[in-house]
Amino acid sequence: MSLKSRFDDVSRKRDALSEVPVNPTDVVIERVLSATEALIGGRRTIMAGTNNYLGLTFDPDCIAAGREALSEAGTGTTGSRMANGTYREHLELERELAVFFGTTHAMVFSTGYAANLGALAALLKPGDAVLIDSEAHASLYDGCRLSGADLFRFKHNDPASLSNRLRRLGDRASEALIVVEGLYSVRGDSAPLVEYAQVKEKYGGYLLVDEAHSLGIYGDHGRGLAEHLGVEPSVDFIVGTFSKSLGSIGGFCVSRHDELTLFRYSSRPYIFTASPCPSVIATTRVALRKLEDQSELRDKVWANAKQLYTALENLQLDLGPHLSPVIGIAFEDRVLSLACWQALLEAGVYTNLILPPAAPDGRSLIRCSVTAAHTPRQIDLIIDAFMAVCRQFGIGRDAA
Amino acid sequence: MTSGPDSKMECGDTAGELMELLRKTFDDPPQINPETNIVADLGLESIQVIEYLCEVEDHFDLVIDEEALADVQTITDLADVVEKLIHR
């Protein structure tokens, strides 16, 4: 296959999407109006497909901190952490993350993707065994693959499947790394971390949990699903991102294992990229404090999640198994999912359309997410839009 | 690639068992033969392939490293991988 012809399949798929009035991969946000609204296609639109779970992107204190950092430290660091890119504020954020998670060590990366890539590639080496949930995020897979470790998948959210594979690994199980997420971002289902911890206890090995979508949402302090389920002592490494509940961009890895400090010398995705710019670090630090201190944000996002999930459940749509701020609605028919997504957008509600291979089960999904900043009235408007779509296309409780 | 301590399965008709497992992934099973290309001929999405491979691992009580599957296209290719693991 030639260099150019290998894009033929991608080109066909892109062209198929271009045949619909609005290509879901080409949506342009013309203007951001608030944490929950934007102008899309000239229309004021409720954003019900973001990862802004705590609604902090327009928090006045975060914005003020970012402005001050811009003025005092400039627009960017222009260098990597190993060279000229480590400012005092990077180290302070790392210290604050370690204190927040109750770990001894923390590392900040330039993106969440880089955190997963960097942590896994530093941790694993060829010949190691890594067991990964079949629906784990691409960045986790990419990190495992970059490491050269032997990669074994287990069935999504299935502790027995994990246990069987560890048993089959024999002596290798005691040094194997188990890689899972907290909250899965497509269907909104959460991992059985208690059961995974028990499996790890039985076979040994290490457990890495990506709390990208669960940070700020779960746990009394917002540390994520491991805190919520009381299994933090069983988790060896937590990775996550600043680009969701913390409203900025960047990623992190925290651990009680001293080896984490050595990642700084061996993690290529950490070393060979510019460090996060000062304004990003500044807004993230303020957001982290708010995430911990303002538990009412968690209360709000869960209240909104319950309002929307319950309404969509009553519409008899095919939802994920768990109530969470991420609500994935599955469709057997790809064309129908596209039409429904389009109708929602025309009604002033932006959601995410997720098509195979990104969607599980080979089905298509419309992904909704709620934030602490959504008002109950906005949630009602989202529900109204779904009710109209159900009537228009004869789906859910309006199915023939 | 690692086969578990309990891998006692004989490989008399590995390809046949793989085809039977593959048929079970379809509500309306298509024609499948040893030279069927698992992805190109059946139009499976990648997540469906992953689920199928998990079923294969459980059926034969072994684990298959992703790297071992790099050149697998047909049922025969997959049978070769499985049989090598069984006989390790």
- Is residue A346 classed exposed, middle or buried when 0-12, 13-18 and 19+ CB atoms within 10 A define those classes? middle
Same structural domain, A273 and A327: no
Residue A44 host element (H or E): strand A43-47
A interface test, pick of B9, B27, B44, B47 with most A CB neighbours within 10 Å: B47
Residues 13-42 of B with CB under 8 A from A: none
Q: Shortest CB distance from A153 goes to which of B2, B3, B54?
A: B54
CATH code of A121's domain: 3.40.640.10
Same structural domain, A42 and A150: no
Same structural domain, A287 and A323: no
Please, what CATH class does the domain formed by B2-86 belong to?
mainly alpha
Q: Please say whether the beta carbons of A216 and A298 come within 8 A.
A: yes
Mean of the pLDDT values across residues A249-273? 96
**Which of A274, A293, A312 is the C-terminal boundary of a domain?**
A293
Same structural domain, A20 and A40: yes
Q: Please say whether the beta carbons of B30 and B88 come within 8 A.
A: no
Same structural domain, A271 and A373: no
Residue (of A287, A306, A317) closest to A35 by Cα position: A287
Domain assignment present for residue A55? The answer is no
Residue A113 host element (H or E): helix A112-123
CA A234 to the chain's CA centroid:
21
| Chain A environment of B3 (Cβ under 8 Å) | 168
pLDDT tens digits, residue range B16-58? 999 999 999 888 888 999 999 998 888 887 788 888 999 999 9
| Chain A environment of B53 (Cβ under 8 Å) | 153
The tally of CA atoms less than 13 A away on the side-chain side of residue A373 is 20
**Is the pLDDT score of B1 beyond 80?**
no
Q: Shortest CB distance from A167 goes to which of B4, B46, B65?
A: B4
Q: How far is A94 from chain B (nearest CA, A)?
A: 34
Arithmetic mean of pLDDT over chain A:
95
ipTM of the complex, rounded to two decimals? 0.81
Same structural domain, A159 and A179: yes
| Chain A environment of B58 (Cβ under 8 Å) | 161, 164
pLDDT score, position B9: 42
Q: Please say whether the beta carbons of A385 and A392 come within 8 A.
A: no
Nearest residue on chain B to A134, judged by CA atoms? Answer: B50
**Is the pLDDT score of B2 beyond 70?**
no
Same structural domain, A179 and A266: yes
Both structure tokens of B74: 């047909």
Residue (of A87, A143, A148) closest to A111 by Cα position: A143
A interface test, pick of B53, B66, B67, B86 with most A CB neighbours within 10 Å: B66
Domain assignment present for residue A52? The answer is no
First to last CA, chain A: 47
d(CA A373, CA B36): 52
pLDDT score, position B7: 38
Q: Shortest CB distance from A151 goes to which of B5, B46, B65?
A: B65
Domain assignment present for residue A272? The answer is yes
DSSP secondary structure letters along chain B = -EE-TT-----TTHHHHHHHHHHTT-SS-----TT-BTTTTTT--HHHHHHHHHHHHHHHTEE--GGGGTT--BHHHHHHHHHHHHT-
Predicted confidence band at A8 (pLDDT cuts at 50, 70, 90)?
Answer: confident
Residues contacting residue B2 through CB under 8 Å, at least 6 positions apart: A129, A150, A168, A169, A170, A172, B62, B63, B65, B85, B88
For A356, the 3-state DSSP assignment is: coil
* B85 in A contact zone (CB under 8 Å): no
Q: Please say whether the beta carbons of A356 and B45 come within 8 A.
A: yes
Mean of the pLDDT values across residues A273-281? 98
Contact A152 B63 (CB under 8 A): yes
For A210, the 3-state DSSP assignment is: strand
Domain assignment present for residue A354? The answer is yes
Nearest residue on chain A to B68, judged by CA atoms? Answer: A150
Same structural domain, A152 and A228: yes
CATH code of A42's domain: 3.90.1150.10
Q: Which residues pair with A154 in a beta bridge?
A: A133
Mean of the pLDDT values across residues A373-394? 97
Domain assignment present for residue A383? The answer is yes
Same structural domain, A174 and A258: yes
Nearest residue on chain A to B66, judged by CA atoms? Answer: A151
Q: What percent of chain A has pLDDT over 90?
A: 90
Residue A39 host element (H or E): strand A37-40
Residue A365 host element (H or E): strand A364-369
Q: Which has the minimum average pLDDT: A8-22, A159-173, A174-188, A251-265? A: A8-22
**DSSP-assigned letter for residue A319:** B
Q: Name the residue with higher pLDDT: A211 or B70.
A: A211
Chain A interface with B: residues with Cβ < 8 Å: 129, 134-135, 145, 150-155, 161, 164-165, 167-170, 172, 356-357, 359-362
| Chain A environment of B4 (Cβ under 8 Å) | 167-170
Predicted confidence band at B4 (pLDDT cuts at 50, 70, 90)?
Answer: very low
Nearest residue on chain B to A153, judged by CA atoms? Answer: B54
Q: How far is B63 from chain A (nearest CA, A)?
A: 6
Arithmetic mean of pLDDT over chain B:
84
Residue A273: domain span: 60-293
| Chain A environment of B65 (Cβ under 8 Å) | 150-152
Domain assignment present for residue A2? The answer is no
pLDDT tens digits, residue range A301-323? 999 999 999 999 999 999 999 99
Nearest residue on chain B to A167, judged by CA atoms? Answer: B4
Nearest residue on chain A to B52, judged by CA atoms? Answer: A155
| Chain B environment of A153 (Cβ under 8 Å) | 50, 53-54, 66
Both structure tokens of A253: 């890895």
**Is the pLDDT score of A29 beyond 90?**
yes
- For chain B, the structural domain boundaries read 2-86
Residue (of A286, A325, A289) closest to A308 by Cα position: A325
Q: Count of domains in chain A?
A: 2
Mean of the pLDDT values across residues B49-78? 93
Q: Shortest CB distance from A151 goes to which of B48, B61, B66?
A: B66
